C-alpha cells in the first residue's frame, strides 16, 4: 500500500511540473545581462545628479564588468563590479564598496536596484536599461578649409552653414538637402553650402563669408545655420553683411558652459569653442552689437530639448523615468552637465535667443539635422 501511494504521489509531481527540466533555474530563464546598461536614478523631481554606465559580462550566475558613475560636476568614478544573478535577484558590488540589490529581468530588458555607498551612505534607487553600444565620444578629425559651394537650384540664395565639429557634408548626412530637393525647395531657391574652420575664432570665419558673398555679388541670402554656424551668420551681419533671414538650429546665442563641458569634450578647447563660452568677449560683443540687434526681426530660432520621460500609471503618477529617445552616450553625459534644459549641448534659452519657435521636444542637438526627426524644421524651410 505504501509503495502504491508513493507511486501515485510521484506521478502527480511529474504531471504538475509539466516535464520541467529541473536543471533549469530562474537565472537561465532570465535575460543575459551581458552588454551595455544605462542607469537612471529615480525619485528626483527634475534632473538627476548622476548617471550610471555599466558594461557587464554574465556567465551562468556570475557577473563581472565595470561601472562608471558620471556626476553633473563633470567628475566621474569608474570601478570594477562583480556579483551574482540568482533566483530572481541580482546582487552587485563595486571595488570601492558600493552595493546594488536588484530585481532580475525576465522579459523586459531593464531592472531596478537600490544602491548604497560605504557604510550605507548616499545611494538611492536606480533603473537600468539596455544602452546603445556604449559608443565613445567622437574624435576631433574635422579641420576644415573655407569653401562656399553652389549645390544647385534657382531663385533667391539660401546658404546652409554647419556647426562645430562638422563640415558642409553634414547637411546631407541625414538626407536633409535631398529631402528638400524632392519637395521642390531647389525649384524656388539657389542653394549653397558654406564650410568654415570651426577651430578658428568665429569672427574670422564671418569675415571670410562676407568676402565671398561680396565677391560673388550675391543678393542678400537666407542663412540656415546649425549650432556655431548661427553665430557665424550673426557675426557676418555685425560686420556689415546683408541678409534676408537667418534661421538657426540649436545655436548657442547666449553661449553655453564650454569650460565645464571641455573637461569631457576635448575638442571644445579651441579658439572657436572658447568664443561660445558664457560671457566670452565674443558673446558679449555679438549680443550688444547695434547692427545685430537691428536685424533681430529677421532671426528665426529653433531649439531642442532632450531628457527623461515618465512612465505613468492610471493615476498619472510617475512610475519610473527613462530616456525619451535613443540618445548617444556622450550626449547623455553632456546633457547632465548642463544645469538648464538643453539638447545635450546648448541650453534651450540660449538657442531661442530672446524668442523663437516652439521647442522641439525630445530631440538632441544632432537630431535637428535629421528630417525624419525634425519635420517641423523641414516644413518651415519648405515654406520659405
| Domains of the chain, each with CATH number or no CATH | 26-130 (2.40.128.120), 147-306+342-382 (3.40.50.1820)
Instruction: Give the pLDDT confidence score for residue 120 in this predicted structure.
Output: 52
285 vs 107, higher pLDDT: 285
**pLDDT-above-90 percentage for the chain:** 60
Average pLDDT, the chain: 87
143 vs 11, higher pLDDT: 143
Instruction: Give the pLDDT confidence score for residue 28 in this predicted structure.
Output: 45
Tell me: pLDDT of 126 over 60.
yes
Give 35: exposed, middle or buried? Use CB within 10 Å, 0-12, 13-18, 19+: middle
Instruction: Give the pLDDT confidence score for residue 314 in this predicted structure.
Output: 67
Q: What is the mean pLDDT of residues 218-223?
A: 98
153 vs 129, higher pLDDT: 153
**pLDDT-above-70 percentage for the chain:** 86
Instruction: Give the pLDDT confidence score for residue 7 in this predicted structure.
Output: 52
Tell me: pLDDT of 147 over 90.
yes
Instruction: Give the pLDDT confidence score for residue 329 in this predicted structure.
Output: 85
Q: What is the mean pLDDT of residues 52-76?
A: 89
93 vs 319, higher pLDDT: 93
Query: 101-105, 183-187, 349-353: lowest mean pLDDT where?
Result: 101-105
Grid cell at residue 39: 542607469
Tell me: pLDDT of 226 over 60.
yes
Residue 24's pLDDT band (boundaries 50, 70, 90)?
very low
Three-state SS across the chain? CHHHHHHHHHHHHHHHHCCCCCCCCHHHHCCCCCEEEEEEEECCCCCCCEEEEEEEEEECCEEEEEEEEEECCCCEEEEEEEEEEECCEEEEEECCCCEEEEECCCCCCEEEEEEECHHHCCCEEEEEEECCCCCCCCCCCCCCCCEEEEEECCCCEEEEECCCCCCHHHHHCCCHHHHHHHCCHHHHCEEEEEECCCCCCHHHHHHHHHHHHHHHCCCCCEEEEECHHHHHHHHHHHCCCCCCEEEEECCCCCCECHHHHCCCCHHHCCHHHHHCECCCHHHHHHHHCHHHHHCHHHEEEECEECCEEEEECCCCCEEEEEECCCCCHHHHHHHHHCCCCECCCCEHHHHHCCCCCCCEECCCCCHHHCCCCCHHHHHHHHCC
Tell me: pLDDT of 279 over 70.
yes
Instruction: Give the pLDDT confidence score for residue 330 in this predicted structure.
Output: 85
Tell me: pLDDT of 130 over 90.
no
User: Of 71-75, 102-106, 179-183, where does the model show the most confidence?
Assistant: 179-183
Instruction: Give the pLDDT confidence score for residue 261 in this predicted structure.
Output: 85
CA distance 195 to 150: 12
Asked whether the whole model's pTM tops 0.75, one would answer yes
The 10 Å Cβ neighbour count of residue 45 is: 5
Tell me: pLDDT of 1 over 70.
no
**CA-CA distances (angstroms) from residue 22 to 41, 286, 297?**
37, 73, 74
CA distance 92 to 88: 14
Tell me: pLDDT of 8 over 60.
no
User: Of 30-34, 130-134, 355-359, 363-367, where does the model show the most confidence?
Assistant: 363-367
Tell me: pLDDT of 139 over 70.
no
Q: What is the mean pLDDT of residues 195-207?
A: 95
Q: What is the mean pLDDT of residues 29-42?
A: 84
Q: What is the mean pLDDT of residues 86-100?
A: 88
Q: What is the mean pLDDT of residues 170-187?
A: 96
Residue 364's pLDDT band (boundaries 50, 70, 90)?
very high
Instruction: Give the pLDDT confidence score for residue 186 in this predicted structure.
Output: 98
pLDDT tens string 302-359:
999 999 998 876 677 787 888 999 898 889 989 998 888 999 999 999 999 977 788 9
Amino acid at each position: 500500500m505504501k509503495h502504491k501511494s508513493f507511486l501515485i504521489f510521484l506521478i502527480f509531481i511529474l504531471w504538475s511540473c509539466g516535464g520541467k527540466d529541473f536543471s533549469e533555474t530562474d537565472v537561465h530563464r532570465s535575460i543575459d545581462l551581458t552588454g551595455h546598461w544605462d542607469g537612471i536614478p529615480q525619485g528626483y523631481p527634475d534632473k538627476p545628479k548622476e548617471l550610471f554606465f555599466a558594461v557587464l559580462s554574465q556567465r551562468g550566475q556570475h557577473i563581472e564588468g565595470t561601472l562608471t558613475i558620471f556626476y553633473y560636476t563633470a567628475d566621474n568614478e569608474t570601478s570594477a563590479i562583480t556579483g551574482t544573478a540568482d533566483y530572481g535577484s541580482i546582487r552587485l558590488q563595486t571595488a570601492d564598496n558600493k552595493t546594488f540589490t536588484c530585481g532580475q529581468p525576465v522579459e523586459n530588458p531593464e531592472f531596478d536596484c537600490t544602491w548604497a555607498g560605504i557604510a550605507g551612505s548616499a545611494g538611492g534607487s536606480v533603473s537600468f536599461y539596455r544602452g546603445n553600444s556604449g559608443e565613445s565620444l567622437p574624435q576631433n578629425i574635422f579641420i576644415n578649409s573655407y569653401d562656399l559651394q553652389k549645390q544647385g537650384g534657382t531663385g533667391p540664395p539660401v546658404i546652409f552653414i554647419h556647426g562645430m565639429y562638422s563640415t558642409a557634408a553634414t547637411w546631407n548626412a541625414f538626407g536633409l538637402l535631398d529631402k528638400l530637393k524632392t519637395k521642390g525647395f531647389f525649384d524656388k531657391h539657389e542653394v549653397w553650402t558654406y564650410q568654415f574652420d570651426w577651430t578658428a575664432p568665429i569672427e574670422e570665419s564671418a569675415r571670410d563669408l562676407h568676402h565671398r558673398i561680396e565677391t560673388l555679388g550675391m543678393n542678400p541670402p537666407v542663412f540656415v545655420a546649425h549650432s556655431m554656424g548661427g553665430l557665424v551668420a550673426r557675426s557676418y551681419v555685425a560686420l556689415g553683411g546683408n541678409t534676408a533671414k537667418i534661421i538657426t538650429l540649436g545655436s548657442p546665442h547666449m553661449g553655453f558652459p564650454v569650460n565645464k563641458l571641455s573637461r569631457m569634450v576635448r575638442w571644445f578647447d579651441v579658439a572657436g569653442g572658447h568664443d561660445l563660452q558664457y560671457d566670452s568677449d565674443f558673446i558679449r560683443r555679438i549680443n550688444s552689437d547695434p547692427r545685430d540687434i537691428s536685424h533681430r526681426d529677421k532671426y528665426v530660432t529653433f531649439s531642442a530639448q532632450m531628457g527623461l520621460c515618465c512612465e505613468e500609471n492610471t493615476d498619472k503618477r510617475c512610475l519610473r523615468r527613462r530616456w525619451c529617445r535613443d540618445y548617444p552616450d556622450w550626449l547623455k553625459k553632456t546633457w547632465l552637465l548642463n544645469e538648464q534644459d538643453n539638447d545635450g549641448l546648448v541650453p534651450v534659452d540660449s538657442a531661442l535667443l530672446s524668442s523663437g519657435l516652439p521647442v522641439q521636444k525630445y530631440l538632441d542637438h544632432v537630431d535637428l539635422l535629421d528630417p525624419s526627426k525634425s519635420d517641423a524644421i523641414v516644413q518651415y524651410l519648405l515654406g520659405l
